[in-house]
Amino acid sequence: MRYPDFPVLITQPMMPLIQQGIESRFPFVHLNEQADRAGFLAKEGARFKGVVTGQGAASDDALFAALPNLRIVSSFGVGYDLVDARAAKARGIVVTNTPEVLTDEVADLAMGLLISTMRRLPQADQHVRKGLWLKGNFPLSDTLRGKTMGILGLGRIGKAIARRAEAFGLKLAYHGRSQQADMPYPYHASLVEMAKASDILMIIAPGGPSTRRIVDRAVMEALGPEGTLINVARGTLVDEPVMVEMLQSGALGAAGLDVFEDEPKVPEALFALENVVLLPHVGSASVHTRNLMGQLVVDNVIALAEGRPPLTPVPETPWPA
Ligand code: NDP
C-alpha cells in the first residue's frame, strides 16, 4: 500500500530495510542530502507528517518548529536521547523507538563483553595470532567466580542481563531512580554505595541530560583497582576523560566499552591499554535483530499513516495523548 498524503523526512542515511520500506510507500526526502538544509525546511517543511531518524542526527524543537504538520518521529534504537521527546509532546507529535526486539541481543553482548574483559579473550586471541603461545602461556586472568555485579538501570535490558548473570553465578544488585518491588536483588539508592559493594559495574541506563556523567570519579573510585566497568548504554553516562586516566593509572581495574562519548571517535589513549576491550557500538548489531528494529521503524510510520495507534510510543508521548 502507498501513502501519498503522508510525506516522510529521513534525517540521516538509514539501513536499506528502512529506506526501502519508507521509499516504496511514502513520498520522501533525505534531509542530509539537502545542501541548504535551513532553506529547504523553510520552503518545504510544512509538507512532512513523518520523520525517520536514528542516533546520527538530533531531532530537536527547532526541527519540529520547521515541520508544523509533523505527526510522528520514528526513531531507530531503543535509546532516543537525541530526540527531544518533551518538546515533541508539547507540539502533539508522537515519538516511537524500537524496544523489546533488541533486549536479548544487547544482553547477550553485555555478557560477552563482560567475559571478554575479565577473561581477556581478545588479548588471548592476539596471543595465538602473534605466535606468542610458542614462547609461553597466556597470563592467568580475573574470574567471575564469587563476584558481585551492580547494574545501573534495571530496565528491560538490565533485567535480561541479570537473568544471564544469575546463570553465571554472579551476585547482583541494582541502582535506578526507584526501587522495584518485584525484584529480588538488593537496591542501592546511591550509585557510589552500589559501586563500593560491587566488583563489576554494568551500565545500561538511558543517555540524555539526567544521566550525563552519572558515573563520575567518585563512582569509579568506589569500584576501584580490582573493579570492572562495562558500558553498553551510552558514552555520555561516564566521565570519559576521568575513566581513561583511571584505567591508565590502574585506579580502575578494567573496562569493557561498547559506547563512547563522541562516536565513532574513541580516545586514542585507550588503544594502548591492555585492561580494556573496545567495541564499535554493536550491542544490537546482528542481522536478525537490526531487521526487527528496522521493520518496527517502518511499521510505526505506517500505523500513523493508516490512522492506527503507533506500535511503540515512548513514555513521554503516550498514546492516546
Ligand atoms: P528501559 O527504559 O527499559 O530501562 C532503563 C532503566 O534505567 C530503568 O530501569 C530505569 O529505572 C533506569 N534509569 C532511567 N533513568 C535513570 C536515571 N536518571 N538514573 C538511574 N537510572 C535510571 O530501557 P532499556 O533497558 O530498553 O534500554 C536501556 C538503554 O540501553 C537505552 O536507553 C539505550 O541507551 C541503551 N542501549 C544500548 C545499546 C547498544 O548498542 N550498546 C542497544 C540498546 C540499548 P528507574 O526508572 O527506576 O530510574
Average pLDDT over residues 72-78: 98
With 0-12 CB in 10 A as exposed, 13-18 as middle and 19+ as buried, what is 2? exposed
Residue-wise pLDDT tens digits, 156-207:
999 999 999 999 999 999 999 999 999 999 999 999 999 999 999 999 999 9
Is pLDDT at 321 greater than 90 in this prediction?
A: no
- Centre of ligand 1 from the C-alpha of residue 28, in Å: 32
Task: Tell me the C-alpha distance between 277 and 122, whole Å.
Answer: 7
Average pLDDT over residues 35-57: 96
- Centre of ligand 1 from the C-alpha of residue 302, in Å: 27
Q: What is the pLDDT of residue 125?
A: 98
- CB under 8 Å to 118, separation ≥6 — which residues? 141, 142, 143, 144, 200, 228, 254
- Centre of ligand 1 from the C-alpha of residue 204, in Å: 5
- Centre of ligand 1 from the C-alpha of residue 301, in Å: 24
Which atom of ligand 1 sits closest to the CA of residue 80? Answer: 32
Residue-wise pLDDT tens digits, 62-72:
999 999 999 99
Return the closest-CA partner of residue 218 out of 196, 202, 199, 240. 196
Average pLDDT over residues 243-261: 98
- CB under 8 Å to 288, separation ≥6 — which residues? 105
Q: What is the pLDDT of residue 56?
A: 87
Is pLDDT at 11 greater than 90 in this prediction?
A: yes
What is the pLDDT of the chain when averaged over all its residues?
Answer: 98
pTM of the model: 0.98
Beta strand residue intervals within the chain, DSSP E: 8-10, 28-30, 50-53, 72-75, 94-96, 148-152, 171-175, 200-203, 228-231, 254-257, 276-278
- The arrangement of strands across the sheet holding 72-75 comes to 28-30, 8-10, 50-53, 72-75, 94-96
Average pLDDT over residues 297-320: 97
The catalytic residue among 2, 33, 163, 263 is: 263
Is pLDDT at 312 greater than 90 in this prediction?
A: yes
Residues with a CB atom less than 6 Å from ligand 1:
78-79, 99, 102, 106, 153-158, 176-178, 204-207, 210-211, 232-234, 258-259, 281, 283-284
The catalytic residue among 25, 71, 175, 234 is: 234
Helices marked H in 92-211 — which ranges?
103-119, 121-129, 156-167, 191-196
Average pLDDT over residues 287-292: 98
Which atom of ligand 1 sits closest to the CA of residue 210? Answer: 18
**Better-scored residue on pLDDT, 268 or 55:** 268
Which residue(s) pair with 51 in the sheet? 9, 73
- Centre of ligand 1 from the C-alpha of residue 107, in Å: 12
Q: Give the pLDDT band of residue 41 (cuts 50, 70, 90).
A: very high
For 18, other C-beta atoms within 10 Å of its C-beta total 24
Task: Tell me the C-alpha distance between 222 and 132, whole Å.
Answer: 35
Which atom of ligand 1 sits closest to the CA of residue 109? Answer: 41
Helix (H, G, I), strand (E, B) or coil at 288: helix
Percentage above 90 pLDDT, the chain: 98
Q: Which of 76, 78, 81, 219 to mutate to test the pocket of ligand 1 (most atoms within 8 A of CB)?
A: 78
Is 281 catalytic? The answer is yes
The answer to whether the CB of 180 falls within 8 A of the CB of 194 is no
Residue-wise pLDDT tens digits, 94-128:
999 999 999 999 999 999 999 999 999 999 999 99
Is 263 catalytic? The answer is yes
The catalytic residue among 37, 245, 281, 316 is: 281
Q: What is the pLDDT of residue 21?
A: 98
Residue-wise pLDDT tens digits, 300-310:
999 999 999 99
Is pLDDT at 313 greater than 90 in this prediction?
A: yes
Task: Tell me the C-alpha distance between 81 and 211, whole Å.
Answer: 10
